[in-house]
């Protein structure tokens, strides 16, 4: 059985399955996470929480499920067993491995996973955060297509140095976009592959990628305002910079189920004290991407 080496949100991953969109590993040191093929049951017994997509056991072990024949068993944030069949495309497996499974792994490892996409600007990370559908990947795409390397899409693992400085670890080298956002970026969605079967999101891969962690310089929280006539960018400070938690943390409910409420709050408080946080509010409808990109670049440069 072949073994592949990757970077997986800043961790060293050894896998029996190929994941072409993950940054290659350097082969140095022992693996932090190992993925192997094997049987996985439909459910965990006993479980403290269960849904059609996820079972959480009493010890924090989890089973992530997608369809009839794609299951991951994740233990301790370090051991993953994949049960699948040949009917599943590699993109299907990778999409779930870098989303739901990543959320489980990061919470099991007590990391801070932001629900955000990030790019590198002048050697530092700028992250765009917010709930699903708000435009995180679209903003990252707009910058990436202007030559700013992509660091991570949708899930950003935040690392803290001993001195409390946060950085963003690299994720998969692709962006998942709704077809209308692909068009807003001047691309043809019909020329891009789908993220997974029977799902409209498209995968954009032709962008520059950053394969090293970058210090986080600013966090841009995205929001919509039906009454807004023009976009606006405002600095956030104190509790408002990191609240509500569910808009910032990837799979926040999963973290709470694992008893991480206090830990996550402390991590967010540390993050908010270390960087600049902004709220970027735009009107509903197709985004004026050039104007929004200019707003963000101006704020970053002035800061």
What digits encode the pLDDT tens for the residues 142-166? 898 888 999 999 999 999 988 889 9
CATH number listed for the domain at residues 113-302: 3.40.50.300
Q: Which of 91, 63, 74, 57 is nearest to 202 (CA)?
A: 91
For 42-74, the pLDDT digits (tens) are 999 888 999 999 999 988 999 999 877 899 999
| Tokens (6 digits) for 123 | 């050697």
Q: Is the separation of the CB atoms in 295 and 254 below 8 Å?
A: no
At 303, the pLDDT band (50, 70, 90 cuts) reads low
The domain limits of the chain are 4-109, 113-302
**Cβ contacts of residue 148 below 8 Å, gap of 6+?**
119, 120, 121, 208
Q: Half-sphere exposure (CA, 13 Å, Cβ side) for 153?
A: 29
| Tokens (6 digits) for 183 | 């068009």
**pLDDT higher than 70, residue 1:** no
Tell me the residue length of the chain. Answer: 303
| Full-model pTM | 0.93
pLDDT of residue 268: 96
CA separation (Å) from 277 to 91, 137, 221, 235, 236? 34, 18, 7, 6, 5
pLDDT of residue 10: 94
Instruction: In whole angstroms, give the CA distance from residue 77 to residue 294.
Output: 39
CA angle 109, 220, 195 (to 5 degrees): 65
For 72-113, the pLDDT digits (tens) are 999 999 999 999 986 677 888 998 999 999 999 999 999 999
Mode of pairing for the β-strands spanning 4-8 and 11-15: antiparallel
For residue 151, cis peptide bond before it (omega within 30 degrees of 0): no
Q: Is the separation of the CB atoms in 144 and 208 below 8 Å?
A: yes
Instruction: In whole angstroms, give the CA distance from residue 34 to residue 77.
Output: 9
User: Average pLDDT in the 108-120 region?
Assistant: 97
């Amino acid at each position: 059985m072949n073994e592949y080496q990757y970077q997986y949100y800043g961790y060293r991953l050894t896998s029996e399955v190929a994941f072409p969109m993950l940054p290659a590993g350097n082969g140095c040191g022992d693996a932090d996470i190992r993925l192997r093929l094997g049987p996985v049951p439909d459910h965990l017994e006993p479980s403290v929480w269960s849904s059609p997509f996820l079972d959480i056991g009493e010890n924090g072990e989890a089973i992530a499920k997608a369809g009839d024949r794609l299951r991951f068993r994740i233990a301790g944030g370090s051991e993953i067993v994949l049960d699948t069949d040949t009917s599943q495309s590699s993109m299907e497996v990778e999409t779930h491995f870098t989303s739901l499974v990543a959320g489980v792994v990061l919470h099991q490892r007590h990391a801070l996973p932001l629900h955000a996409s990030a790019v590198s600007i002048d050697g530092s990370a700028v992250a765009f955060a917010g709930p699903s559908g708000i435009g995180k990947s679209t903003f990252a795409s707009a910058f990436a297509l202007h030559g700013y390397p992509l660091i991570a899409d949708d899930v950003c693992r935040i690392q803290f140095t001993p001195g409390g400085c946060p950085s963003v670890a690299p994720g998969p080298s692709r962006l998942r976009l709704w077809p209308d956002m692909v068009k807003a970026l001047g691309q043809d969605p019909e020329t891009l592959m789908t993220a997974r079967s029977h799902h409209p999101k498209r995968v954009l891969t032709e962008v520059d990628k950053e394969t090293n962690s970058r210090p986080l310089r600013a966090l841009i929280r995205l929001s919509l305002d039906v009454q807004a006539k023009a976009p606006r960018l405002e600095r956030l400070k104190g509790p408002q910079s990191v609240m509500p938690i569910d808009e910032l943390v990837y799979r926040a409910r999963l973290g709470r189920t694992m008893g991480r409420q206090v830990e996550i709050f402390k991590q967010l408080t540390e993050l908010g004290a270390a960087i600049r946080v902004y709220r970027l509010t735009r009107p509903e409808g197709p985004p004026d991407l050039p104007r929004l990109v200019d707003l963000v670049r101006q704020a970053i440069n002035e800061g």
